[in-house]
Amino acid sequence: MKDLLRLRTSLTEEIETLLNEQIKVEAHSSSVYLAMSSWCNRNGFDNSADYFQKQSGEEREHMLKLFGFINDMGGRAISPEVTNIPQEFESFRAVFETALQQEIYVTQQFNRIADRCFKAKDFMSFQFIQWFLKEQIEEEYIARRALELFDVIGEEGTGRWEIDKQVPKIKYEN
Amino acid sequence: MAKPACKNLEEIFRTPHGAVYQCNRANCFWLEFAGGISAFKASDFLHLKKQVEQIDVPEMVQNTARMADIVILNPFRSERCFVLTVTDVLNLRELLQGAKVMLDLNSMLYDCLHAMAV
């Protein structure tokens, strides 16, 4: 008997579902970053607003990369529904704390997917996920460094203005 | 219902409520359920299975509204329309999940046999 499932796709149902869930996570992240950009803009943090807008674009690119992969492998990529995007934040610092928490969550999700791919012996998807894991090193580093600026510079006086100036300069060199 | 008369059809899974066949000529699946039989492409078949699995059966049981007693599924690229009661949902779910297990088993056998042949 022909293996019709394998002829259609090389993705198992489980991996396809996980990747589609990740598409949703990336889309959500992209929208949250956009909300952060708006908040920063409203509150006079122009550089951080640009930074978050750029981050939002990157998350969308990640989403599209996953989207393309699922379709290329014969799967069914699902355009995600994005809801519950916070539009208000407690403070300038809280914005960056939320950003870091978000990146940590994304890393956890990719670790989980990599684990499932490995267990399912789906090494093509496992290989594909490596790129995202590498990317997460940079994403977490930048988010953590940005938050550390609040301790290093301090928020008193012109502190927040200085932090806003330094945020776009954070680079991951390795 | 008897198995459709076509030599390219292979029975994949059967329950007292229906059966799933694979057509090796047209590369599709035939679903026999509730007195009807209809063809689905592999991706549509898997999507139907997902749709049936996503039906909230506890909600159907608990909700006293009359409209909550049935679920209507209109699969794309199919003339078939499924009007399902709670029992139908459970029966169809059992049939589709059983068929999926058999298809997965077939994939595993392919993997093993290919590994042995190389």
Which residues of chain A are at the B interface, by a Cβ-Cβ cutoff of 8 Å? Answer: 1-9, 13, 76
Which of A19-28, B2-11, B36-45, B63-72 has the highest mean predicted lDDT (pLDDT)? A19-28
Per-residue model confidence (pLDDT) at position A112: 96
Exposure of A113 by Cβ count < 10 A (0-12 exposed, 13-18 middle, 19+ buried)?
buried
| Distance between CA atoms of residues B95 and A111, nearest Å | 34
Per-residue model confidence (pLDDT) at position A1: 83
Is it the case that residue B116 has pLDDT exceeding 80?
no
pLDDT bucket at B2, cuts 50 / 70 / 90: low
Q: What is the pLDDT along chain A (174 residues), one digit of tens a residue?
A: 888 888 888 888 899 999 999 999 999 999 999 999 999 999 999 999 999 999 999 999 999 999 999 999 999 999 999 999 999 999 999 999 999 999 999 999 999 999 999 999 899 999 999 999 999 999 999 999 999 999 999 999 999 999 999 999 999 887
Per-residue model confidence (pLDDT) at position B8: 78
Cβ pair B47:A6 closer than 8 A: no
Interface subset of B 5-24, CB within 8 angstroms of A? 10, 22, 24
Is it the case that residue B1 has pLDDT exceeding 60?
no
| Distance between CA atoms of residues A90 and B75, nearest Å | 46
Per-residue model confidence (pLDDT) at position B7: 64
Cβ pair A3:B46 closer than 8 A: no
- On chain B, the residues whose CB falls within 8 A of the CB of A7 are 27, 42
If one counts every other C-beta atom within 10 angstroms of the C-beta of residue A174, the result is: 5
Nearest Cα residue in chain A from B108:
A3
H or E element that contains A26:
helix A13-42
Closest to B24 (Cβ–Cβ): which among A2, A8, A9?
A2
CB A89 within 8 A of CB A98: yes
Per-residue model confidence (pLDDT) at position A58: 96
Per-residue model confidence (pLDDT) at position B79: 86
Taking alpha carbons only, the member of A84, A99, A104 closest to residue A49 is: A99
Return the SS3 of B81.
coil
pLDDT bucket at B118, cuts 50 / 70 / 90: low
Per-residue model confidence (pLDDT) at position B3: 57
ipTM value: 0.75
CA separation (Å) from A97 to A90, A103, A143, A147, A149? Answer: 10, 10, 8, 7, 12
| Distance between CA atoms of residues A66 and A166, nearest Å | 32
Structural domains in chain A, sorted by start: 10-79+90-169 (1.20.1260.10)
Please write the tens of the pLDDT for every residue from B75-97.
988 888 999 999 999 999 999 99
Per-residue model confidence (pLDDT) at position B21: 96
Q: Where are the domains of chain B?
A: 9-117
Cβ pair B27:A2 closer than 8 A: yes
